[in-house]
Structures are given as C-alpha cells and as structure tokens.
C-alpha cells in the first residue's frame, strides 16, 4: 500500500526523503543484532530487552521501562494504562496521537480525545488546556490525561514549555504523557539531558526507529506500577513478543552510537533549506528549520509532477499538494542534499 500522493518508482532508490522511518540498519547495528543474547520476553527472560528497558528508564529519569513494537503501540499502551472507558485525553490538535494513530484509544479503550489548539511552534497554551478540562459533572467525560509531543513537525518544545504545560495538567488533576517520537532530536538541539527535558512528565514514549535508526521498536517509561499496567495492555493488544532481543540490541546500539550524530541530520536539513531557498518557484524558509525537517511550499499543481520527476531518478518524496515535508536522516549525506537541490532546481528550470 502506498500513501496517497506518493509516487511509485521502478528505479533503484537513490535517496528517500519521505521520513526518518526509512533508515536502514548499519552494518555494525546488524552485527549487534546478530550477536544478541535472547530469551522469552513474555516471561521476562530476554536479557537484551531487560537491559534496553533499564537503559531507557535511566536515560529518561523514570522508574521502569517496557519495550514495544512501535511508537503507536507505546502511546496506545500508555493511554489505556492511564485511562478507563469513558475517560478523556486532552491532546494537541496537530499531534500524532490525535491525528495519526487510527483513534486507537477510542476504538480499543473507549477513551475520548479532546483536541487542544496548537500554535505554529507546536505548543499548547495553558489557558486552552484549562478551558478544555471538563468539570466534575455527570454530563461530561472525566478528563484524566494530558498528552504532549516533542518534536512537533520538527519544532523543538523547550524544557520551560514542557514544564509549564505539565504543571497546568497536574494542577487540574491530569497525568501527563509525552510522545517522544523524535525526543532525542530535541535533546540534541537543546544541548541538555533527556531526563531534564521530561523531568516533570509522568510517562514518556521513546521511539527508536526514526532518527535513531533502528528497524523497529519503542520504549515506554514511567512509574513501576504504571509499567505493570502497560505490560498487561501490551499483551491485550497482541504485543507480547518472544526472542525479541535481536531488536532490542539495535536499540542499545542506537543509544550508544546514534544520538550525538542527530546533529548531522539537523545540519543537513538546514543546508537543504538554504539551497532550496534559492529556487525561485518554491518557498522554503531556512529560519523555520530547527531539527531534521524542511517544509517546501509549491506552486499550485506542481507537486505531482515534481514527485514523478524525482521518482524517475530514484528520489522519493512524501505526499502533499501545496506543501511537501523533506526529512533528513541517517542515510542522507551532504552529497545527497546537494543532489536533491540540483534536481529540484533543474525541474523548475
């Protein structure tokens, strides 16, 4: 299945700019996976999984961790562990949990979602959160959980902002969860510790398969009793895996070798934006680039033609008609950036 608006190609793929989910495991990561000690994780016997869970919990300053298949599954386990049927989640109206996870909390858990307006930088206003919290009234769902995100469309959410929003949630009796799909991009950009960024957040999902470059996997962290509930939910949604240390080993390798190098992705994104800003027919603002995402504004009717033109040359772009997101990652080099700028420049003449 292809996403709507994404061109197909029979050419060998030279460059894939659709997302940082497309990375290939490096040779050294594959070696670490091949040599991983494994056990049955459903019984808690996989030593590599246990090591990864402990490592991420320590990295984020939380009590315990749970390895799951995907970031979406991690957020689902978190929301269902925090909430009961009929409860309500407050979440940014542009956030992944609300827009891009198939409504899992509602479909599988009977949990409502109340979208909160987000600003152009991806944050929420404390007053909007306060106004969205439901009163203690028989007519209303019970507001239980506030969901944050970092980064948001490549925008870094600062420590001060996260602390302010978490404090607002806690003041209204809400638990606070953070979707950290690209949390380490924010950590590198902020030049601080991951634990500092999420210090006042109750639970965090850390995705390993985006900028960190693993084939799959995420780790959910939080208090030990919360992780016990999430472990039961992981089983409920079919996420109990067996000798999964082969994937956990990739996560451990990524934490050792692929965090600091995220700065290279950020530099390449800025380099790409600066190059594309010179192309008269499109609009890219380098000042908007904070991490590894560049948003390219296109003339009416140009998107499909550009996508097809590049696909014929083995370059893949994501969907969109007026705007296309370009994402730098582990497999994008400075030469690749130069190639993409040249090809787009040539297309627009």
Same domain, 219 and 313: no
CA atoms of 222 and 251, how far apart (whole Å): 18
CA atoms of 79 and 90, how far apart (whole Å): 11
Burial (CB count <10 Å: 0-12, 13-18, 19+), residue 107:
exposed
- Alpha helices in 199-261, H assignment, sequence order: 224-236, 245-257
Per-residue pLDDT tens digits for 31-71: 999 999 999 999 999 999 999 999 999 999 999 999 999 99
CA atoms of 41 and 39, how far apart (whole Å): 6
Same domain, 53 and 200: yes
* Res 1: pLDDT: 37
Residue 161, classed as helix, strand or coil, is helix
Of 202, 228, 257, the last residue of a domain is 257
Mean pLDDT for all residues in the chain: 96
Report the CATH number at residue 277. 3.90.1150.10
Same domain, 200 and 285: no
* Res 6: pLDDT: 54
* Res 3: pLDDT: 47
CA atoms of 322 and 303, how far apart (whole Å): 7
At residue 11 the predicted structure's pLDDT band, cuts being 50, 70 and 90, is confident
Residue 257 in tokens: 């070798």
E strand or H helix at 74: helix 71-82
Same domain, 230 and 297: no
* Res 7: pLDDT: 55
Residue 338 in tokens: 């130069």
In a domain, 4, yes or no: no
Of 257, 284, 308, the last residue of a domain is 257
In a domain, 8, yes or no: no
Going 146 to 234 to 64 to 100, the CA torsion angle's sign is: negative
pLDDT surpasses 70 at 9: no
Same domain, 145 and 107: yes
Mean pLDDT of 137-143: 93
DSSP character string of 125-140: -HHHHHHHSPPS-TTS
* Res 12: pLDDT: 87
Residues in contact with 305: Cβ distance below 8 Å, sequence separation at least 6, in sequence order:
347
pLDDT surpasses 80 at 330: yes
In a domain, 9, yes or no: no
Residue 125 in tokens: 């206003």
pLDDT surpasses 50 at 4: no
Closest CA to 88 of 138, 134, 50, 22: 134
Of 242, 257, 272, the last residue of a domain is 257
Same domain, 252 and 275: no
pLDDT surpasses 90 at 107: yes
Residue 79, classed as helix, strand or coil, is helix
Q: Are strands 175-180 and 142-149 parallel, antiparallel or unpaired?
A: parallel
Domain count, the chain: 2
Per-residue pLDDT tens digits for 222-262: 999 999 999 999 999 999 999 999 999 999 999 999 999 99
Same domain, 20 and 61: no
Q: Are 62 and 203 in contact (CB under 8 A)?
A: yes
In a domain, 3, yes or no: no
Per-residue pLDDT tens digits for 273-311: 999 999 999 999 999 999 999 999 999 999 999 999 999
pLDDT surpasses 70 at 103: yes
At residue 2 the predicted structure's pLDDT band, cuts being 50, 70 and 90, is very low
In a domain, 276, yes or no: yes
HSE at residue 264, side-chain half, CA atoms within 13 A, is 16
The one-character DSSP state at 259 is S
Same domain, 77 and 99: yes
Tracing tokens 């950290």 back to the chain, one arrives at: 180
CA atoms of 295 and 288, how far apart (whole Å): 9
Domain interval for residue 282? 15-24+261-347
Same domain, 90 and 192: yes
* Res 92: pLDDT: 98
Report the CATH number at residue 101. 3.40.640.10
Same domain, 123 and 265: no
Same domain, 146 and 203: yes
In a domain, 29, yes or no: no
Same domain, 276 and 166: no
């Amino acid at each position: 299945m292809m996403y709507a608006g994404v061109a197909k190609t029979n050419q060998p793929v030279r460059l894939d700019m659709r997302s940082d989910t497309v990375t290939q495991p490096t040779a050294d990561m594959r070696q670490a996976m091949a040599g991983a000690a494994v056990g049955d994780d459903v019984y808690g016997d996989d030593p590599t999984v246990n090591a990864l869970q402990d490592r991420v919990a320590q990295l984020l300053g939380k009590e315990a961790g749970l390895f799951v298949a995907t970031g979406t599954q991690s957020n689902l386990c978190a929301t269902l562990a925090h909430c009961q049927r009929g409860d309500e989640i407050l979440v940014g109206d542009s956030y992944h949990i609300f827009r891009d996870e198939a409504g899992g909390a509602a479909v599988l858990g009977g949990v409502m979602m109340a979208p909160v307006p987000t600003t152009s930088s991806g944050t929420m206003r404390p007053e909007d959160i306060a106004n969205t919290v439901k009163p203690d009234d028989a007519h209303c769902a019970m507001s239980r959980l506030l969901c944050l995100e970092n980064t948001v469309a490549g925008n870094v959410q600062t420590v001060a902002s996260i602390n302010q929003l978490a404090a607002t949630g806690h003041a209204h009796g809400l638990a606070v969860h953070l979707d950290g799909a690209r949390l380490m991009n924010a950590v590198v950009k902020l030049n601080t510790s991951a634990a500092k960024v999420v210090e006042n957040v109750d639970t965090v999902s850390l995705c390993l398969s985006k900028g960190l470059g693993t084939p799959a996997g995420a780790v959910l962290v939080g208090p030990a009793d919360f992780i016990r509930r999430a472990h039961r939910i992981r089983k409920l949604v079919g996420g109990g895996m067996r000798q999964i240390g082969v994937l956990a080993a990739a996560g451990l390798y990524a934490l050792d070798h692929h965090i600091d190098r995220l700065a290279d992705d950020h530099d390449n994104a800025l380099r790409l934006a600066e190059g594309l800003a010179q192309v008269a027919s499109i609009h890219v603002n380098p000042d908007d680039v904070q991490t590894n995402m560049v948003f390219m504004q296109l003339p009416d009717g140009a998107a499909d033609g550009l996508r097809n033109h590049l696909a014929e040359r083995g370059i893949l772009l994501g969907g969109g008609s007026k705007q296309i997101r370009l994402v730098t990652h582990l497999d994008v080099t400075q030469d690749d950036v130069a190639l993409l700028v040249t090809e787009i420049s040539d297309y627009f003449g």
